[in-house]
Structure 1
């Protein structure tokens, strides 16, 4: 079974990174991706976005109700207010 060019190129790159002149190099932080931290940050961002959207909807409902009330007052559709 022969290896493809990509496999051999990847193996050579691995050798260059981690076995330069017989001394292993410490892996860099950029070599690895922390999927758990990324997922946690995404879920926190989504929770914050949902909370902000809820506040915005509540504020919009208050503004809409106030506008409808003013329109009703202008056209006399809210009845007599004492």
Structure 2
């Protein structure tokens, strides 16, 4: 426990020295606050995009399955050949 305290104290001291030396800490580009509304909007938009993509994939899968079933029916003479 003493080691973790010493490490954090040393880190704080090092940060203080670096700031005093004229090398300020880099500030985040977005600022210190998190925009929860924008994050929620991005998540909801991502969910909508995923739902649209899944619907398109299911439609494409259904078309491929129907084509395969039709080919099997033609092969086994259960359905006439397509014209």
User: Is this a same-fold pair by TM over 0.5?
Assistant: yes
Cα separation, 1, equivalents of 2:32 and 2:41: 20
Cα separation, 1, equivalents of 2:71 and 2:40: 46
Which portions of structure 1, spanning 4 or more consecutive aligned residues, are displaced by more than 2 angstroms? 27-30
* TM-score for both structures, normalised by structure 1: 0.60
Task: Tell me which of the two structures has the higher relative contact order, counting C-alpha pairs closer than 8 angstroms and 6 or more residues apart.
Answer: 1
CA offsets per residue over residues 23-77 of structure 1, 9 Å max, x none? Answer: xxxx964421110000000000100010000000000000000000000000111
* TM-score for both structures, normalised by structure 2: 0.59
Note the aligned Cα RMSD (angstroms): 2.3
Q: How many residues align?
A: 56
- Could you say which residue in structure 2 is the equivalent of 1:77? 78
- Could you say which residue in structure 1 is the equivalent of 2:33? 32
